[in-house]
Amino acid sequence: MLSNNDILKKIRVALALRNDDIIEILKLVDFEITKGALGDLFRNEDHPGFVEAGDQLLRNFLNGLIIYKRGKLSELKNIDRDNTKDSN
């Protein structure tokens, strides 16, 4: 079974995200994390500085990733309204 840390690592690699990108993604959902704390999540499990990623961190990252890739829901609704007006 994959840990939350493994999931974060796999998404980071798949989307070619840097640590700065991940920090930015978490800021989109008002979740602050330092570069050092983020680095601790990506260490090997046997490293003394390893920190296990909790469910809240992963949930906030995934919610921030949606905003990062698609934009905020309110912005999408405005775009949909504008497109509907243009097509009429």
State how far the Cα of 24 lies from the Cα of 3, in Å rounded to an integer. Answer: 22
pLDDT of residue 58: 98
What was the pLDDT predicted at 71?
A: 83
Is the distance from CB of 22 to CB of 61 less than 8 angstroms? yes
pLDDT at res. 81: 65
pLDDT tens-digit series, residues 56-84: 999 999 999 999 999 887 766 666 666 66
Domain total for the chain?
1
Q: What pLDDT is recorded for position 6?
A: 97
- In this prediction, residue 18 carries a pLDDT of 97
* Res 85: pLDDT: 64
Residues 6 or more apart from 12 whose CB is under 8 A from it? 22, 42
pLDDT digits (tens, 9 = 90+) for 6-26: 999 999 999 999 999 999 999
Q: Which domain holds residue 16?
A: 4-87
- Which helix (H) or strand (E) segment holds residue 22: the answer is helix 19-27
CA dihedral angle for residue 70, residue 72, residue 74, residue 80, rounded to 10 degrees: -10
Evaluate if residue 5 carries a pLDDT over 60: yes
